[in-house]
Structure 1
Amino acid sequence: MIGHRLHGRGPRHALLLHGWFGDHGVYGPALPAFDPETWTLALMDQRGYGLSRDQGGPFDIATIAADALDLADRLGWERFSLIGHSMGGKAALRVAVAAPARVERLLAVTPVWAGAAPFDAATRALFRAAAGDAGAREGIIRHSTSDLLSPDLYRELVAGSFAQSREDAFAAYFESWSGDDFADRVAGLDVPVAVLVGEQDLAITADLVRTTWIAALPAAELRVLAGVGHYPMLEDPAAFGALAAGWLGEGRTA
């Protein structure tokens, strides 16, 4: 079974998928917002990360989605909601496309879109270098948070990203989340979707989301959280948790 941590014991079910720079622990500060008598959350670690660090590939979006569905099966969850952050947002959308009847609601948090990322050569080179270069990782994180966090927090995020993932997995996931394209399969998706962006995120902006997620999914909602960048669950866990638990809680009972 793919590595994961369970939170709560309630009848409402949700799978949480982390992003490129961290493991399941990124959601830890926001967990108090989820009543353990109401919710059971499965915080999954992608292959090569955290509790799944020793698991082999493929390290790609399709495998994350397949592992998420397998985990739901093993937990006995017929229906569940999804939260996906950044790379995990693209993977969560892939889950919804593959099994729409099983997904109650999808909250995509500062998410990568289903299509290929429109990187120029210099940006792609920077992101590829980040697999082994701490400076490149820090530069990417600083840009996505408008350089507003403390130096200590940037150092902590970079060091944590190296500790929580294998370099080969980190490198391979970049090629997948930036290059894979299943946007043509998203049209007509009948799953309630909310897309949350941080006001200070210079990478995944509200305008970018409008031209991708919102344009392709007319019923999708855009939410902008003030005062945060690409990591709202770390930058303002109380506000993020309240929004996440409140929006997912509007769905049907599992």
Structure 2
Amino acid sequence: MDFQRVGTGAHTVLVLHGWFGSSRSWQAVLPHLDQETFSYVFLDCRGYGARRGETGRFSVAEAADDVLTAADELGAERFSLLGHSMGGSVMQRVYADAPERVRALVGVSPVPAGGVPFDEQSWQLFSSAADSPGSRRAIIDFTTGNRLTGTWLDAMVRHSLDNSDRDAFAAWLPAWARTDFHTEIQGRDVPIQVIAGRHDPALGPETMEATFGAWYPNLELEIFPDAGHYAMDESPVALTSSVERFLRRH
């Protein structure tokens, strides 16, 4: 399996991307990583990035199996997980399947293990994104509070189009939005940090409190005042600092 590895530290961190992203979505944080303490491994889901052209069921469970396969290939018996958006759902599935291997979880605007409810209008918009760059741009703009430059929005759309297969992208929407396994993780005492952007209207602080806060007794929630859904782009230095402070304790 192809993956990018940054750092040589003993603490392995497997990094999982979101619906519009890929393993390269984390470029803005790379200069700030502690490469002596941690080894970050940036993984692509099937149909994304270095794995474009790969087929599969495009399910949360399958992606979790792929993460565990990657960990085996790396020789990482225990590891932490850092997941953005839909990658946050996958990281929780990995933990549900192999809790003894997980040191800690960090979610950046993560999808809850109960999925994400949509009204009909929103579902139509998100469903149209597979074939409409304009819909992708509208969603990214909405989930960052309609406050960021159009140049950045266009670059995010271009990254999404260039780094995901159309059919994989389409299949992943119901996978992350409508997969519910929260009863399998509810009450678990895993160390977990969730970072929520104040300008994220969908997966912001209130949603995180109502889901992760209700299910994980050890949750540490941090609210980023100057971020929406993409803290790795909007607040890269603050994100890296927060994540590594947390992971050093585990």
Superposition deviation, residue 34 in structure 1: 2.1
Q: Normalization by structure 1: what TM-score?
A: 0.96
Identity %: 40
Superposition deviation, residue 54 in structure 1: 2.1
Equivalent position of 2:41 in the other structure: 42
* Structure 2 residue matching 1:29: 3-state secondary structure: helix
Q: Match for 1:12: what amino acid?
A: H
Q: Match for 1:194: what amino acid?
A: Q
**Residues 28-85 of structure 1, C-alpha deviations (whole Å, 9 max, x = no match):** 2112332222211110011000011121112121111110011001100111000000
Equivalent position of 1:65 in the other structure: 64
The CA RMSD over aligned residues, in Å, is: 1.0
Equivalent position of 2:55 in the other structure: 56
Superposition deviation, residue 104 in structure 1: 0.5
Kept in 1: contact 2:189–2:217 (CA 8 A): no
What is the CA–CA distance in structure 1 between the aligned matches of 2:192 and 2:186, rounded to whole Å?
Answer: 13
Q: Does 1:166 align with 2:165?
A: yes
Equivalent position of 1:81 in the other structure: 80
Superposition deviation, residue 190 in structure 1: 2.6
Q: Which runs of 5+ in 1 are unaligned?
A: none
Q: Match for 2:225: what amino acid?
A: A
Kept in 1: contact 2:190–2:216 (CA 8 A): no
Alignment of 1:1-254 (within 5 A): 1=1, 3-251=2-250
Number of aligned residue pairs: 250
Superposition deviation, residue 174 in structure 1: 0.4
Superposition deviation, residue 89 in structure 1: 0.3
What is the CA–CA distance in structure 2 between the aligned matches of 1:49 and 1:154, rounded to whole Å?
Answer: 19
What is the CA–CA distance in structure 1 between the aligned matches of 2:35 and 2:186, rounded to whole Å?
Answer: 35
Superposition deviation, residue 117 in structure 1: 1.8
What is the CA–CA distance in structure 1 between the aligned matches of 2:183 and 2:165, rounded to whole Å?
Answer: 31
* Structure 2 residue matching 1:89: 3-state secondary structure: helix
**Residues 111-152 of structure 1, C-alpha deviations (whole Å, 9 max, x = no match):** 111113211111111111001101111111111100111011
Kept in 2: contact 1:100–1:189 (CA 8 A): no
Kept in 2: contact 1:5–1:44 (CA 8 A): yes
Q: Normalization by structure 2: what TM-score?
A: 0.97
What is the CA–CA distance in structure 2 between the aligned matches of 1:218 and 1:206, rounded to whole Å?
Answer: 16
Kept in 2: contact 1:32–1:241 (CA 8 A): no
* Structure 1 residue matching 2:211: 3-state secondary structure: helix
Q: Match for 1:115: what amino acid?
A: G
Q: Which runs of 5+ in 2 are unaligned?
A: none
